[in-house]
Structure 1
C-alpha cells in the first residue's frame, strides 16, 4: 500500500492581512500548513504568520517586504493582493487626491506586487496570483467612482497577466466579495444593514472566512486550470456581471 504524499508547504504573501478579509485569508493559509507572510501598515499579523510592516504604495518598502518573505520562506509561490482603501464622495466633489490615493493603493500597488512576485514564479515555473476586487468593481456604486475604477482595473490586470504568464503554469484570478462582516459594516445602522441584506439574494453578509475559502481554492492544485476568472463571493448580489 502506498501512502499519499503530504502537500508541500508553500511560500504565501498576503497584503493587508492584519484584519478583516486579509486576516481571514492569512489564517486559512496558515491552517493549511503554508508558510505565510503578511504585510500591513501597522503590523499585527495572525499567529503563525511572518509580520511585515509595508506601505504598498512605496516601491522600496514592497521590495524590502518581498526580500524578507523570501529570506524566511523562499520565493513567493502564492500572492494575494488584498490591501485596499476607500475615499468615498460624489464625483463632482472628488478631489485629485481622493482619486489618485485610491488608484495608487488599490490598482497601481497591485501591479507592483504582481510584477515583483512574478519574477520568482517565472523561475519556479509555477505560481498563483489572486487579486481581491469587489462587487462594486462590476456593478458600480454612487460615491465610489475611484474605488469602483480601481477594483474593475484588477480584472483587466488579472486577465492580461493570465495570458502573459500562463505558459509557465502561473495563474491570475480575481475574487470579488460583496458585503462582508467586517468592522466597516458593523458601524452601519440597523436600517442600513437591513436595506443591504434585502438587496442580497441570500439575505445576509458573507463571513471573511467564506471569502478566504474562495482564495485558498484558487491557490490550490484543484484550481490549476482556472485562470483569468472572476469569482464572486457576494450572495448573488452581482449575478450576471
Structure 2
C-alpha cells in the first residue's frame, strides 16, 4: 500500500517522528531512532550541538543515515527569539525545515504561547521556511496557524514529557476537520498504545521523545512505537465499526434451526 506522508514538498513513508533529547548518549539516540523506522528526528538547537564541528554533534552521528533533521526552537519564549534562531540555523546549515516551539509557561505546564507562535509562523513562512507549528489542542488556533502558512500543525496530547496520553480525543477530531495540512500529535505520548490511539483518531503522524528515550529499553520501545503507529494508521484507514449500547450477535439468527 502506497501511503506516503507529505509535509510541504517533502514525502515520507514513516508516520512516526522522534526526538533526540533525554537519551543517555548519542549512540543510544542513533540506535533507537533507526529501530523506530522514523525518517525525521527533532533537535533542540539551543540544547543539542548540531553546528559545532569541534565537538561531538548529531549531524556527525547521523551523517551515514537517511534521517532528516528537524531543528526546533525549544527554549524560546517569544516570536523574536524563535525567528532569530531559525535564521541562524538556515544560514549555518541550510536547513529550512523546522519545528516552531514557543513556550509560554516555562515553569509548570510547558504549554505553548499560541499568540507568539502565530506571529512567528507568519514571518517564517513568508521567508520560505517549512514550519511545523507546536500548539495547544484548539481547532480555532490550528486553522489560524494553517492560514498563517504552517505546513503542519502539531497539537499536544498532554503536557510535554507527562506520558499522560491523549487527554481530549474530541479536539483531535475537531482539528482534523478544521485543517488540510498534516495534523501531527505531539507531546504527552507515554506508550505505544497512546500512539496507536492518536493514529486511529485520524492524526497524520505522531511525534514522541520522552516515551522512547526514558523507557527502560529505549530501542525496544522505539520498535513498539513503530508498530503502534502503523497499526493505528491501518485501523483508521480500515474504518472502525459503530459503537452500540447493546450486544450484537456475530452470527445471524435468521433461519437458525429451532431446538425442541
TM-score, with structure 1 as normaliser: 0.39
